Structure 1
Amino acid sequence: MLAPDRMEEAFARAGAIPPQDSGPMDDAPFPTEYPESADGAPDTGLAEGLAATTPPLELICPPTWRGVPLPPMRWLATNRIPAGDVTILSGDGGGGKTTVALQLAISVEQRLGDWLGTVCEAGPVIFFSGEEPDQEMRRRLDRVARKRGIDPSDIEDLHFHFADPDRCLLGVARPNGPIAPTPLFEALAAAVFDIRPVLVVVDSIAAVFGGNQNDRTHARSFVGMFRKLAREADCAVMLLDHPSLSGITSGTGRGGSMDWQNATRARLHLETVQDEGGGTDRVLEVKKTNYGPAGERVAIRWEEGSFVMKGSESAPAQAAAFNVADQAYLACLDAATAQGRNVFPMPGKGHAPKVFADMPQANGMTWQGLAKAQERLFAAGKIANVPFGKPSKDAKRIERTTSI
């Protein structure tokens, strides 16, 4: 330790005032004034500084929801694609993403009710193609439609837009900021609000994204554009994506920032795999879903221009089997209605599939098969959950909406 005279000399050279003996720290006087902020103004504290300039935060407490019915979860494709939100379908180039998405679009528009083993909604579709030209899409459409026994010219409510490859960006990066929508995105949004589709397909992120895929803000703000559109227009949006090389190698299907996955509510991945004979098949896997079970893996194979579930019956045979199950469900519902028995879609007392499984009109079908038929019939609009009884009880039962 320096001697007292040497310490004073050191402080003098540094232009500092040597410390004075002020006694024990406990005896130091408490400050009576706040220090000044960087701009010289007194620091009056966070609360007082915000009060005059910041609008109040909107807060909601659970009692506000008392008596307000909780809307059921809606799916564009059950347990895979939520309605009113964004889903990413990833897969390596040439793996069949566009064909799989086109099969979904035709199932939705034609009210077929099924898509690769799950139930899907029905309604108009917009398909924005930033990669495939119209001639190639026509060839794919023809193959997929005829595989399902459909004349392509009868698909009236599937709306394509084929973007110019040099002018197909839907979102571009601002300088040091998030992604901003382009006039082309605004035109797409206007078409969505005009047509009111239940599904919008964008093929693909690589073609329409004008930002840095590794930038978290770019990824989140780009997905956010479509989430806002999906919620306001009440439609599902499916963005097709090419994973990075590491995503393909690891099997995760990811590419770029993790916020591509974090910002979406669901993500599917189409993986190319080798079959036992050395050929190639595909596996459609649910990598993420915020509203249902993740991890579903559906083995599919190429057959006459489209994909079918591996080991399943041909598409016409599968459609015929679905029709038998649906007719059995409706026969049970008609019998229960005639008997004055109320049935309901959710598990519990009066759960329709379990009630119907014990009825002779079910023709031996299991309640699980009838439950899948119920999903198809709801999606096709042939049955509905209809209020009955006193309005104060908010009770609903299943009823037919159309006759077959």
Structure 2
Amino acid sequence: MLTIASDAPDGVLVHSFNGGDALEIKDELRRHGVLPERQEGALMSKPQWRVTGCYEYDDGCGNVVYRTKRLEASGHGKRFVAERFEGGRWVNGLGDTPRVLYRLTELREVVASAKAASLDQPIVYFVEGERKADKLAAMGFVATAIAFGANGWRPEYGDALAGLSVIVLPDNDEPGRKFADVVKAAVEQVGGTPCILDLPGLPPKGDVMDWEGTADDLRALTTKALSGALMPLPTLDLATLANVQPQPKAFAVERLAPLAEVTLFTGPGSAGKSLFGQQLATCAAAGMPCLGLEVRPGAALYLTCEDDAEQLHWRQASICKALRVGMASLAGKLHLASLRGALDNELGTIDHDGTLKPAAAFQRLVQMLQVTGAQLAILDNVAHLFTGNENDRGEVTRFVNLLNRLAGETGAAILLLGHPNKSGDDYSGSTAWLNAVRSQATLAHDLETDVRTITVGKANYARKGEAIRFIWFEGAFVREEDLPDDDARYLRETVQASSDNLLFLSCLQERTRQRRAVSDKLSATYAPKVFAGMPESKGVGKDRMEKAMDRLFRTGAIERAEVWKGDDRKPVFGLRETAKAGAADRFPQTSEGR
């Protein structure tokens, strides 16, 4: 076969599949006018080829049927030519000569001896080239090869390998891998047990000729490779592991997020999951702890489908201020991505038969982790990324397995944020979410004190330990003990005031339910005095109730007005809540980042 190649002599390359000499074929083409005659200079520079190896192929009974020669010339790559023995002399090319494996007689003798002695079938090593087979034979192994590599493979080569264990030793390059795959498939077709063994320590394009291991080294590698190839499922190599010090599971975030795993992180809409996720990613990028938890330093990704870029920027400024970290110093390490409004956020699609197929967004996520090298990825949130039926255990499990595969392949810890279900459980939809992950935590919000609490609900790789408590302060989450004294004192007073406001309103709601009006004036129905004696006030006393009433008047959360009509149809006046009595008015501090 001829191939046009402008950089080749005469502009063509000759591919001979029967062992013919490429130069002689070109000379024949010149005689027929297909190629131009050589110029005088070309004749003078004709390479001087010399034989550097000659390899004889026998028919399995000791009779040589053909041979290959290895030719080398200075400044040129190696060449191989084949000759058949015909009419008492060597003739160029193989013609119709039946093809056989290299060192076939030796292979058959060893197989026959093993069978006669009722021994296990011998292991045969298959390599790409006769010289390599000769090296293995000199080391005491049964080895074989074929002429002209994988391109010359024929079905009859496999007949001699039927039922044998065949170890293929590929060259350390792409052609070598393709050759190994061809041999492996052929051995499987004849009922043999093939195993591709990559020799350790080979240089690029290296082969067994470059390998420095001993015969014992190769036997050990072969035993290990075959034990895996013969098992229906891959198993641990306990002999090797016995000499390796075991390591505990590594964590991206202490107690919360193990590396190479998916962690389900849930909480109600008011808890602040998004703020926590972004702050956690910031701490990883900055190489600092987060709320007392050790965080693995390194690149981190926070991906949200709910907040736009402006909100991410606003929140990041508050986080950086609280952590005393320059925003510019995080460039290249903290990766914030907003997919709000995108129509293709789903990571996988469910076919009619229930099969989950990775979607384009999943491929982009894979590439993002590969490009950034992020070891912590926070995905906010599951409602946007999973479009299947959250009550279908099969669909949920397949989706989590898809993320577990991503975590395992990249080594990253993936935090999947989600809401509790309507029953108040720590997961959305079915229990499959909890069953499919190895780690799960919940973020709760105490509306009376504005304290947030993280509770580890499932921890297959760490102890559950105490709950992690912190508060919202000036746009970020902080531990009270990390605040300066003045700020801590102010915050405690603020938290107490917020709690007292809620207690006052709770008492007012109960009195309103009972249709028993209270007043802001000193009287028998003076609200602070009446509320101090109610169980709903939790014993805070009249003085704190008075201060709470004053704050609520100032914010417009309560008013003096008609509360209902009496039995005599006359209006009854007293204190009542206004439409402004929402959570934002009850708290002096705003819980941004919910």
User: 1:144 maps to which residue?
Assistant: 319
User: 2:250 maps to which residue?
Assistant: 74
Whole-Å separation in 1 of the counterparts to 2:263 and 2:237: 30
SS in 1 for 2:482: coil
Q: Deviations over 1:67-98 (max 9, x none)?
A: 13323321111122111211111011132001
Whole-Å separation in 2 of the counterparts to 1:87 and 1:60: 26
Q: Does the Cα contact within 8 Å between 2:277 and 2:302 map onto a contact in 1? A: no
Q: Is residue 2:474 matched to residue 1:264?
A: no
User: 2:482 maps to which residue?
Assistant: 313
SS in 1 for 2:481: coil
2:377 aligned residue (200, 223, 228)? 200
Whole-Å separation in 1 of the counterparts to 2:384 and 2:354: 21
User: 1:351 maps to which residue?
Assistant: none
* Cα displacement (A) at 1:285: 0.8
Matched letter for residue 483 of structure 2: S
What aligned pairs does 1:4-403 form with structure 2 within 5 A after superposition? 56-60=232-236, 62-112=238-288, 114-156=289-331, 157-163=333-339, 164-247=341-424, 252-274=425-447, 278-309=448-479, 311-314=480-483
Whole-Å separation in 2 of the counterparts to 1:315 and 1:190: 43
Q: Does the Cα contact within 8 Å between 1:149 and 1:316 map onto a contact in 2? A: no
Q: Under a length normalisation based on structure 1, what TM-score does the superposition of the two structures give?
A: 0.60
* Cα displacement (A) at 1:214: 0.8
Q: Under a length normalisation based on structure 2, what TM-score does the superposition of the two structures give?
A: 0.41
Matched letter for residue 187 of structure 1: R
**Larger RCO, structure (CA 8 Å, separation 6 or more):** 1
Whole-Å separation in 2 of the counterparts to 1:57 and 1:166: 40
Matched letter for residue 184 of structure 1: A
Q: Deviations over 1:285-329 (max 9, x none)?
A: 1111101112531121111111112x4222899xxxxxxxxxxxx
User: 1:375 maps to which residue?
Assistant: none
Whole-Å separation in 1 of the counterparts to 2:399 and 2:485: 40
Seq. identity, %: 26
Whole-Å separation in 1 of the counterparts to 2:277 and 2:435: 22
SS in 1 for 2:423: helix
* Cα displacement (A) at 1:103: 1.1
SS in 2 for 1:109: helix
Q: Does the Cα contact within 8 Å between 1:148 and 1:316 map onto a contact in 2? A: no
Whole-Å separation in 1 of the counterparts to 2:231 and 2:413: 33
Matched letter for residue 260 of structure 1: W
Q: Does the Cα contact within 8 Å between 1:147 and 1:315 map onto a contact in 2? A: no
SS in 2 for 1:246: coil
Matched letter for residue 111 of structure 1: G
Whole-Å separation in 2 of the counterparts to 1:205 and 1:316: 39
The change in CA–CA distance for 1:229 and 1:84 in structure 2 (over 3 A counts) is: same
The change in CA–CA distance for 1:203 and 1:292 in structure 2 (over 3 A counts) is: same
Whole-Å separation in 2 of the counterparts to 1:219 and 1:236: 19
Matched letter for residue 69 of structure 1: Q
Whole-Å separation in 2 of the counterparts to 1:88 and 1:108: 18
- What is the Cα-based RMSD across aligned positions, in Å? 2.3
Q: Does the Cα contact within 8 Å between 1:179 and 1:211 map onto a contact in 2? A: no
Structure 2 alignment gaps of length 5 or more: 1-190, 193-229, 487-594
Matched letter for residue 445 of structure 2: T
Q: Does the Cα contact within 8 Å between 1:86 and 1:236 map onto a contact in 2? A: yes
Q: Does the Cα contact within 8 Å between 1:178 and 1:217 map onto a contact in 2? A: no
Whole-Å separation in 1 of the counterparts to 2:334 and 2:315: 14
Whole-Å separation in 1 of the counterparts to 2:399 and 2:242: 35
Structure 1 alignment gaps of length 5 or more: 1-50, 318-404
Whole-Å separation in 2 of the counterparts to 1:272 and 1:165: 30
* Cα displacement (A) at 1:230: 1.1
User: 1:383 maps to which residue?
Assistant: none
Q: Deviations over 1:159-200 (max 9, x none)?
A: 122214322111221212143211111011012112111111
Whole-Å separation in 2 of the counterparts to 1:270 and 1:57: 40
Matched letter for residue 463 of structure 2: P
SS in 1 for 2:442: strand
Whole-Å separation in 2 of the counterparts to 1:141 and 1:130: 16
Whole-Å separation in 1 of the counterparts to 2:466 and 2:354: 37
Matched letter for residue 282 of structure 2: I
Whole-Å separation in 2 of the counterparts to 1:151 and 1:55: 55
Task: State the structure with more CA Rg.
Answer: 2
